[in-house]
Amino acid sequence: MSLLEPLPDCYEGDPDLLPPDEAMRRIRAHVRPVDATESVAVIDALGRVAARDVVSPMNVPGHTNSAMDGYACAGDSLPDGTPRWYEVVGTAWAGKPFAGPVGPSQAARIMTGAVMPGGTDTVVMQEHVEAEGDRVRIPPGNRPGQHVRQAGEDIAAGAVVVPCGRRVMPAEMGLLASLGIAEIEVYRTLRVAYFSTGDEIRAPGDPFEPGLVYDSNRFTMHGMLGRLGVEILDLGIVPDRREAVFDALREASARADVVLSSGGASTGEADYVKEALQALGRVGFWRIAIRPGRPLAFGLLGGSAFFGLPGNPVAVMVTFYQFVAPALRAVSGEIDSRPLPAVEARCTTRLRKKPGRVEYYRAVLERDEAGALVVRSTGRAGSGLLHTMSGANCFIVLPEDGATVEPGATVEVQPFFGLM
Ligand code: AMP
Ligand code: MG
């Protein structure tokens, strides 16, 4: 990846925190999609991003065919006033056409999906005719051209079916297969490296003593990255030593397109992430007006994009979903992601809020007895406790200028999951 544009000045010392919209705008302005592409089998393409428009090589349906079981005839032979008898001259099955021809006073028995025989353009449902031997009687009231699917009606040959920048989901896999396409050109998979920082951080399984904290951030990151389909490079836990942090950033940027760290991003004495980023790369911004997650660093590190996430486990998840995930999608080449819009719901809990920052409460969105959307918080906005995320299915997003929310007020909600 190359991040070609110059970064704006560092925001160090600026008393104003960067609004989250502006932070996201800057991230988007400075990340570029990977440039390499590869061809993969459609069966292996789930989660990959199309690197060019895929154009349909054929019409779908491939032939004009019947949408119903019934009788095919010529539309201009249909009766106006009184029913009319037709001679049945053959049967058209799906996959076994009846070539025709079918004359003006003739009809062909036809099954759903069967190619329309020569001389016919209309299907009369079998429930609407009276059959007698090899004759059928068609009543008035049918419309010429009815119950017929035209060739190319769903997809015309030459139409773009998967645009460049769309992530391949199950529907795209089926769609490509339905056109006889076995391979698709996609952007190469992103490589994302991450590490945790902190002298007090231990891996699960290590001995535990007072003052130590088990590392959860590499696990949530692994989970969140896994769902984005990137290649993951886990660089472990890095102690709060200047050289160790410098080495970790050097190694990570040499090996990955995007580098994520957690912790050590504040301005405490042992927080070396910012110093390392300044020395080895460029700091894009440092502090964002959000809670949790204020000390979120973004910058460039060699050819890689770098996010210095906070240490607080909830802040890691909030900043990942709000900033890192959209950035990773952009670097993956995705330009057509169609995220679910936020929804509004009545909040049943009181939410403390100070003006001047966007706050993300973890919450449960559900319907009340009357069927209205209601939402309740699972814990305090700034809490570091992951159980507030674990029990949640959405974020409540309180705007920068908003004050404390009293029960009954309407709030904006970002659902975690859609149907897929
Ligand atoms: P820091 O930004 O390094 O000061 O970290 C902020 C808080 O998050 C501290 O209480 C850390 O102990 C905690 N923390 C930092 N990294 C992790 C981690 N990987 N897993 C769990 N907690 C962490
Ligand atoms: Mg720390």
CATH at 377: 2.40.340.10
Mutate to test the pocket of ligand 1, among 312, 316, 385, 386 (most ligand atoms within 8 A of CB): 312
Ligand 1 pocket mutation, candidates 199, 212, 213, criterion most atoms within 8 A of CB: 213
Same domain, 230 and 287: yes
User: From the CA of 127, how far away is ligand 2's center (Å)?
Assistant: 75
Instruction: Return the sign of the alpha-carbon dihedral for residues 193, 199, 202, 206.
Output: positive
Residues 218, 281 within the same domain? yes
pLDDT at 336: 77
Q: State the distance from the centre of ligand 1 to the C-alpha of 288, rounded, in angstroms.
A: 18
- Written as six digits, the tokens of 349 are 């809990």
Given this model, what pLDDT does residue 15 score? 53
Give the Å distances, CA to CA, from 48 to 104, 193, 222, 264, 326: 53, 19, 18, 33, 15
Give residues (CB < 6 A) around ligand 1: 196, 198, 200-201, 213, 215-217, 262-266, 268, 310-313
- Kindly identify the ligand whose nearest atom is closest to the C-alpha of 267: 1
Residue 4 in domain: no
Q: How much is the pLDDT for 207?
A: 96
Ligand nearest 261 Cα, by number? Answer: 1
| Domain identity same for 315 and 219 | yes
Domain boundary among 270, 301, 331: 331
Look at the chain and count its residues.
420
The pLDDT of residue 7 is 46
Q: Position of tokens 């911004």?
A: 285
> What CATH number did the domain enclosing 129 receive?
2.170.190.11
Q: What pLDDT was estimated at residue 12?
A: 43
pLDDT of residue 268: 76
Q: How far is the CA of 274 from the centre of ligand 2 (A)?
A: 12
Residue 241 alpha carbon to ligand 2 centre in Å: 11
Which atom of ligand 1 is closest in space to residue 237's alpha carbon?
19
Tell me which H or E stretch contains 220. Answer: helix 217-227
Residue-level pLDDT, tens digit, the chain, 420 residues = 444 344 444 444 445 689 999 999 999 998 889 999 999 999 999 999 999 999 999 999 999 999 999 999 999 999 999 999 999 999 999 999 998 899 999 999 999 999 999 999 999 999 999 999 999 999 999 999 999 999 999 999 999 999 999 999 999 999 999 999 999 999 999 999 999 999 999 999 999 999 999 999 999 999 999 999 999 999 999 999 999 999 999 999 999 999 999 998 877 777 899 899 999 999 888 789 999 988 889 999 999 999 999 999 999 999 999 999 999 999 999 997 788 899 999 999 999 999 999 999 999 999 999 999 999 999 888 888 899 999 999 999 999 999 999 999 999 999 998 776
Evaluate whether residue 336 is within a structural domain: no
Same domain, 171 and 194: no
Within-domain flag for 213: yes
The predicted structure's pLDDT at residue 133: 93
Same-domain status, 233 and 174: no
177 and 196 together in one domain: no
Nearest protein CA to atom 17 of ligand 1, as residue: 311
State what percent of residues in the chain have pLDDT above 90: 85
- Which two tokens mark 374? 């209601």
343-347 and 373-377 beta bridge pairing = parallel
Atom of ligand 1 nearest to the CA of 196: 19
Chain segment 191-248, per-residue pLDDT in tens: 999 999 999 999 999 999 999 999 999 999 999 999 999 999 999 999 999 999 999 9
Q: Which of 331, 363, 390 is the C-terminal boundary of a domain? A: 331
Domain membership of residue 205 (yes or no) is: yes
358 domain-assigned: yes
Best residue among 195, 238, 262, 272 to mutate for probing ligand 1, ranked by most atoms within 8 Å of CB? 262
**CA of 201, nearest ligand number:** 1
Give the ligand whose atoms come closest to the C-alpha of residue 295. 1
Dihedral sign, Cα of residue 178, residue 180, residue 186, residue 189: positive
Q: Is residue 13 part of a domain?
A: no
DSSP-H helix ranges across 110-199: 170-178
Q: What is the pLDDT of residue 9?
A: 45
Residues 102 and 163 in one domain: no
| 382 in any annotated domain | yes
Ligand positioned closest to the Cα atom of 196: 1
165 lies in which domain range?
A: 39-60+153-187
Q: What is the distance between the alpha carbons of residues 176 and 179, in angstroms, rounded to a whole number?
A: 5
Bridge-based pairing state of the strands 410-415 and 343-347? antiparallel
Instruction: State in Å: Cα 22 to ligand 1 middle.
Output: 26
For position 167, which CATH number holds?
3.90.105.10
Domain check: are 309 and 390 in the same one? no
Domain count, the chain: 4
Q: Does 1 reside within a domain?
A: no
240 CA closest ligand 1 atom index: 3
| Atom 23 of ligand 1, residue of closest alpha carbon | 311
pLDDT score of 271:
82
Spacing, Cα 195 to ligand 1 middle (Å)? 12
CA 59 to ligand 1 center in whole angstroms = 57
HSE toward the beta carbon, residue 349, CA cutoff 13 A = 16
Whose alpha carbon is nearest atom 16 of ligand 1? 311
pLDDT of residue 16: 64
Of all protein residues, whose CA lies closest to atom 10 belonging to ligand 1?
Answer: 312
Report d(CA 324, CA 387) in Å as an integer. Answer: 21
How far, in Å, CA of 409 to CA of 349, rounded?
9
CA of 312 to the centre of ligand 1 (A): 5
Question: Do both 105 and 141 map to the same domain?
Answer: yes
What 3-state class would DSSP assign to 136? strand
* Rounded Cα–Cα distance for residues 65 and 62 (Å): 9
The CATH number assigned to the domain holding 253 equals: 3.40.980.10
Q: Are residues 228 and 157 in the same domain?
A: no
The answer on 347 and 226 residing in a single domain is: no
Are residues 406 and 356 part of one domain? yes
